Amino acid sequence: MKREAYLYSTLPGNTVQCNTCQRRCVIPEGLHGWCGTRKNEGGRLSSLIYGEVSSLSINPIEKKPVFHFFPGSLWLSLGSVGCNFRCPGCQNWDIAHWRAGPMDTEYWSPEDVVSRANEAGCLGISWTFNEPALWFEYTLDSAKVAKAQGLYTNYVTNGFLAEEALDRIAPVLDVYRVDIKGFSDRTYARIGHIPTFSKILDVTVRAKRKGLHVEVVTNVIPGYNDDEQELRRLATWIKADLGQGTPWHVTRFHPHHELSGVPATPIATLERIRDLGKEAGLWYVYLGNVPGHEAENTRCHQCGELLIERHIFGVLQNRIRNGACPACGASIPGKFAAERNAERR
């Protein structure tokens, strides 16, 4: 379904500039933007994917991964097609690398999605699988309906959305789960095909300052973004600009798509990066895609007490009480069950 884009500028000669993501494509009449999801039709920019759902499922929030926002809760997760990156090892490349043409999708209105989430007993709605910024008009409309009915909302994003887009959706967005794929222009040129990454950091900080719950993920690909010095700088930035209580998920890459010949990330590499994060002063550095590893669990940053025991995406036990460690009383950053009950009373 088509819908006029919410964020664009008109330029001379029926040309438009899309202001949804940081590419800010200048699009002549009749042509598409870089991602293929937006088209200049007579001097007006149209979104071609409004409500077009390629994937829909109900998942625990740990699958995003998000570990400090109501652990164990279920979320309706959905995505469309298209992306403003072309990551060579993308796990969802069949939908994310779509440019233009036929879509294997089904239309769901914002009201349909919210109704489905409520029927399934979900705590919230997560826009994921492809880059949600390209679905901006639909995610914004859906988020407004979701918030009106007491649901939480979550973006699983590469962080390349424009400041205007974040500012507009932030009032109805609760969780900003962002990929920071590395900490150099070289890494982002190889993985995301963008010339510079600094504005991704700026928008992430902006999300934090607007009160969104932020968690960071770095999928570590051998030979691409596993440089220890670069990752140490990333950890230092998280602590300085997002706060030492910000969860950092260091996840294991598995061979896929154009990187099918690259080996899976050695667990020892992930453990070393976790150590770097801890040395930089981060309280919560998790390892992902390593089932059964101790670093799936949450331990108190102050006394080391086991707070949340996990296995893959399941929460086996959660000992946090009133947002605090039961052993030493330290406040644990995030939102937990008691706060949810208080908000809904």
Domains delineated in the chain? 3-47 (no CATH), 52-344 (3.20.20.70)
Taking the C-alpha atoms of residue 184 and residue 57, their distance in angstroms, rounded to an integer, is 34
The 10s digit of each residue's pLDDT in 265-292 is 999 999 999 999 999 999 999 999 999 9
The 10s digit of each residue's pLDDT in 155-212 is 999 999 999 999 999 999 999 999 999 999 999 999 999 999 999 999 999 999 999 9
If we measure between CA atoms, which residue out of 155, 142, 174 comes closest to residue 70? 174
pLDDT at 341: 44
pLDDT digit string (tens) for the chain, length 345 residues: 899 999 999 999 999 999 999 999 999 999 999 999 999 999 999 999 999 999 999 999 999 999 999 999 999 999 999 999 999 999 999 999 998 778 899 999 999 999 999 999 999 999 999 999 999 999 999 999 999 999 999 999 999 999 999 999 999 999 999 999 999 999 999 999 999 999 999 999 999 999 999 999 999 999 999 999 999 999 999 999 999 999 999 999 999 999 999 999 999 999 999 999 999 999 999 999 999 999 999 999 999 999 999 999 999 999 999 999 999 999 999 999 855 544 543
pLDDT at 344: 44
Dihedral (C-alpha) 228, 260, 311, 123: value to the nearest 10 degrees?
100
CB atoms within 10 A of CB 263: 12
Model-level pTM?
Answer: 0.96
**Residue 79: beta bridge partners?**
55
